[in-house]
Homo-oligomer: A and B are copies of this chain.
Amino acid sequence: MISTLQSRMLRGADGDPAPRLAYGADYNPEQWPRDVWEEDVRLMREAGVTVVSVGIFSWARIQPGPDIWDFGWLDEVMDLLHAGGIGVDLATATASPPPWLTTAHPEILPVTANGETLWPGARQHWRPTSPVFREHALRLVREIAGRYKDHPALVAWHVSNELGCHNIYDFSDDAARAFRLWLRARYGTLEALNHAWGTAFWSQRYSDWEQILPPRLAASHPNPTQQLDFKRFSSDALKDHLVAEREILREITPGVPVTTNFMVMGGTKGMNYPDWADETDFVSNDHYVHPGPQDRDELSFSANLVSGIAGGRPWFLMEHSTSAVNWQPVNVAKRPGDLARDSLLHVAHGADAVCFFQWRQSVAGAEKYHSAMVPHAGADSDLFRAVVDLGATLKTLAPVAGSEREAAAVGILYDWESWWAAEQDSHPTSLLDYRREALDWYSALLALGVRADLVTTRADLSRHQVLIAPVLHVVPAELAKDLTRYVEQGGHLVTTYFSGVVDENDHVWLGGYPGALRELLGIRVEEFGPLLAGESVELDDSTRGSLWTDQITLADGDTEVLAHYRSGVHAGRPAVTRRSTGDGSASYVSTRLGVDGLRSLLPRLLDPAGVSSELPPQARGPVELTVRRGPGGRFLFLVNRTDETVPVPGFDGEVLLGARDAEGSLVLGPREVAVLRRPAA
């Protein structure tokens, strides 16, 4: 997988065959008159662009009618780019069906839970499960692949675009039919489904597969396992579309790698990306900053998680923005320096490409106020000059290309099943936010200068001395065994409130919470104690808990109490516990401590594992450290998280990016990034 990515994608515009970091954007020449195209290629070369994604939204242009094909313009674009030494990540163009198709086949339009049709006018107005759409989409893929299979500019295939951004949940009759097939495959018998869904409750027992529906608008909370399975099904339905396109591409161009751009960021949770990753030849991601106090922590978190999803291998940043976007309530511009810093932070976490949406800012359409590499103001602009600078920087970092993530001592387990299940309705609290809890742990580790890897349940957990699993809500028996083995073999597990509560069917483990992990943690919780919005309780280590508390009883002589509640209903009872077992331990945090509280608690959780910061004391907090390792050496990225200048003394290595002062200390200007190379050891 890496080799394919490297061989085709990581080439320079200057024809240099040595791998380098890719640089580029979505390129939509069909929005511009022909005479702009020449300037585009010229400016791309000026900026050091090596690759562009073409054709993302070109269906209506390529196929203006059911049996009309217009490839001439695209031939010309491909040739022009190739002549300019720029590779093409060619889209299959299925993201947005053309008006003639939706007019002829309105039955491909998605339907909301409330029964509303999603009409054309925007994009992604198609049902993932529509056989009619599938037929037309695959025909298009076959035509495009056939046309360009031998074009020298082609370096990769880009399946559709941001699959599921708007159409992940469709409640149409097509979806109902496909859901039933998926359930048959999962459960085999109706009896098994009735058991898994707990249909004895509220008189929901099915006597025929045809009775089953998606969880459409109901009179009250729909069946939770039906809801959870519909989430699983919806992710699988789109993955199935991805696979269907990919199969055609592999058949026609077996040597060209296939990717599709994930959206690991913010609240995008509909697509189980760890599960999708195997279906691509390399992982790509789109990321956009949501302004807020933790915004760059979130960027780092997302990039880190993409790395985890990619199994530590390098990945492709397919889209981010040079400055403002256009779809937030207020779309703030990036400050000077943000463009490079944000980009390099992705590289620090394994990105081998830095691409933007889009090359040239549109004059019309729904994203005309989305920033681009060439803004409305034109090439004579601060923004384009920063784009050119970044191109040069990325060239300097060519040695990094292809290097992998070097495992950190701390892992944070991020689990889509728990994310989906923990935030369902009819729960103890509707205020629980799975991703926020994980991000808080991540921010606290950043604040301590401790490197951590986001990992998925598919990862080899034993690589981390400490494994933090916040709100690990869904714990099937097998996972409980894995975690127990992890601890028995010396690992230090940390988990939190509402973890280990249900199995894969969303059935509660009985006998006291946290059911599946009760013995491992050596505690027993008889009852949850969620807190009202605004309510908090004090702990005896001076931290404060919100959102949740538990009524904890110690159930094992080896369980010690790291902190008690000082106020609230459970005052005097344990709040944070640790059960040691051999070399390992299992700790439990029963409340939401927030970034500051976790920062205060973490040393007590890390010390027994012998884990501490790899940074010099004055850089712990201000600086984020990541490490990539490849044939060319170990690459240390040091990112200044602050708006102040930060010296980092005593950090040796060859300076690929950045500067040392007279004493040899690295000196990081505000939001600057330094990159060191050390021998691979």
A interface residue numbers (CB < 8 A to B): 28, 30-31, 57-61, 64-65, 93, 95-100, 102-103, 110, 114-125, 165-167, 197-208, 210-213, 215-226, 291, 323-324, 326-327, 329-333, 335, 361-369, 371, 375-378, 381-383, 425-431, 505-508, 510-513, 515, 524-533, 551, 569
Chain B: minimal CB distance from A566 (Å): 17
Q: Indicate whether A205 sits within 8 Å of B60 (C-beta atoms), given known contacts A116-B114, A330-B531, A375-B527.
A: yes
B121 and A57 contacting across the interface, CB-CB below 8 Å: no
Extra 10 A-B pairs, beta carbons < 8 Å, given A57-B203, A64-B205, A369-B426: A99-B204, A99-B206, A123-B203, A224-B368, A324-B527, A324-B530, A326-B428, A329-B430, A364-B506, A368-B426
B99 and A207 contacting across the interface, CB-CB below 8 Å: yes
Chain B: minimal CB distance from A177 (Å): 14
Complex A-B, nearest 8 residue pairs according to Cβ-Cβ distance, in ascending order: A198-B364, A201-B365, A121-B222, A166-B219, A122-B220, A99-B211, A96-B203, A60-B205
A122 and B218 contacting across the interface, CB-CB below 8 Å: yes
Chain B hits for A59, CB < 8 A: 203
Chain B: minimal CB distance from A370 (Å): 8
Chain B hits for A120, CB < 8 A: 204, 213, 218
Cβ-neighbour of A221 out of B102, B218, B225, B366 (below 8 A): B366
A119 and B218 contacting across the interface, CB-CB below 8 Å: yes
- Mind listing 13 A-B residue pairs with CB under 8 Å? A28-B200, A115-B116, A120-B204, A120-B218, A197-B364, A223-B366, A323-B527, A330-B531, A331-B530, A332-B532, A366-B426, A371-B527, A377-B513
Closest to A324 in B: B428
A365 and B116 contacting across the interface, CB-CB below 8 Å: no
Chain B: minimal CB distance from A203 (Å): 4
The residue in A201, A324, A532 that gathers the most chain B C-beta atoms within 10 A of its C-beta is A201
Chain B hits for A166, CB < 8 A: 219-220
A contact patch SS: loop
Chain B hits for A381, CB < 8 A: 512, 526-527
For the complex, what is the distance from the CA of A326 to the CA of B505, rounded to whole Å? 19
For the complex, what is the distance from the CA of A330 to the CA of B212, rounded to whole Å? 31
For the complex, what is the distance from the CA of A47 to the CA of B431, rounded to whole Å? 35
Chain B: minimal CB distance from A371 (Å): 8
Chain B hits for A167, CB < 8 A: 219
For the complex, what is the distance from the CA of A528 to the CA of B512, rounded to whole Å? 56
Cβ-neighbour of A335 out of B65, B98, B569 (below 8 A): B569
B201 and A367 contacting across the interface, CB-CB below 8 Å: yes
Cβ-neighbour of A57 out of B201, B216, B365, B366 (below 8 A): B201
For the complex, what is the distance from the CA of A379 to the CA of B223, rounded to whole Å? 27
Cβ-neighbour of A366 out of B93, B121, B201, B208 (below 8 A): B201
Cβ-neighbour of A202 out of B57, B205, B222, B528 (below 8 A): B57
A205 and B117 contacting across the interface, CB-CB below 8 Å: no
Closest to A370 in B: B426
For the complex, what is the distance from the CA of A111 to the CA of B245, rounded to whole Å? 38
Chain B hits for A382, CB < 8 A: 526-527, 551
For the complex, what is the distance from the CA of A210 to the CA of B329, rounded to whole Å? 34
B527 and A377 contacting across the interface, CB-CB below 8 Å: yes
Chain B: minimal CB distance from A631 (Å): 41
The residue in A165, A218, A428, A551 that gathers the most chain B C-beta atoms within 10 A of its C-beta is A218
For the complex, what is the distance from the CA of A375 to the CA of B526, rounded to whole Å? 8
Q: Indicate whether A226 sits within 8 Å of B512 (C-beta atoms), given known contacts A201-B31, A375-B527.
A: no
Q: Indicate whether A512 sits within 8 Å of B330 (C-beta atoms), given known contacts A124-B220, A200-B30, A365-B223.
A: no
Closest to A119 in B: B216
Chain B: minimal CB distance from A270 (Å): 13
For the complex, what is the distance from the CA of A641 to the CA of B612, rounded to whole Å? 52
A532 and B291 contacting across the interface, CB-CB below 8 Å: yes
B198 and A60 contacting across the interface, CB-CB below 8 Å: no
For the complex, what is the distance from the CA of A208 to the CA of B505, rounded to whole Å? 50
B330 and A118 contacting across the interface, CB-CB below 8 Å: no
Chain B hits for A218, CB < 8 A: 118-122, 125
For the complex, what is the distance from the CA of A361 to the CA of B513, rounded to whole Å? 13
Chain B hits for A378, CB < 8 A: 510-512
Chain B hits for A200, CB < 8 A: 28, 30-31, 61, 365
For the complex, what is the distance from the CA of A116 to the CA of B171, rounded to whole Å? 13
For the complex, what is the distance from the CA of A291 to the CA of B64, rounded to whole Å? 54
The residue in A200, A382, A425 that gathers the most chain B C-beta atoms within 10 A of its C-beta is A200
B530 and A330 contacting across the interface, CB-CB below 8 Å: yes
Closest to A368 in B: B508
Closest to A430 in B: B329
For the complex, what is the distance from the CA of A103 to the CA of B176, rounded to whole Å? 13
The residue in A166, A197, A526 that gathers the most chain B C-beta atoms within 10 A of its C-beta is A526
B368 and A533 contacting across the interface, CB-CB below 8 Å: no
For the complex, what is the distance from the CA of A330 to the CA of B125, rounded to whole Å? 36
B530 and A332 contacting across the interface, CB-CB below 8 Å: yes
Chain B hits for A100, CB < 8 A: 207-208, 211
Closest to A205 in B: B60
Closest to A102 in B: B211
Chain B hits for A508, CB < 8 A: 361-364, 368, 376
B530 and A119 contacting across the interface, CB-CB below 8 Å: no
A58 and B375 contacting across the interface, CB-CB below 8 Å: no
Cβ-neighbour of A511 out of B331, B376, B525 (below 8 A): B376
Chain B hits for A60, CB < 8 A: 199, 203-205, 207
Chain B: minimal CB distance from A369 (Å): 5
For the complex, what is the distance from the CA of A526 to the CA of B99, rounded to whole Å? 35
Chain B hits for A217, CB < 8 A: 116-119
Cβ-neighbour of A213 out of B119, B428, B515 (below 8 A): B119
For the complex, what is the distance from the CA of A217 to the CA of B369, rounded to whole Å? 22
Chain B: minimal CB distance from A609 (Å): 31
Closest to A429 in B: B330
For the complex, what is the distance from the CA of A116 to the CA of B217, rounded to whole Å? 8
B363 and A507 contacting across the interface, CB-CB below 8 Å: yes
Chain B hits for A369, CB < 8 A: 426-428, 528
B222 and A98 contacting across the interface, CB-CB below 8 Å: no
Chain B: minimal CB distance from A84 (Å): 22
Chain B: minimal CB distance from A281 (Å): 25
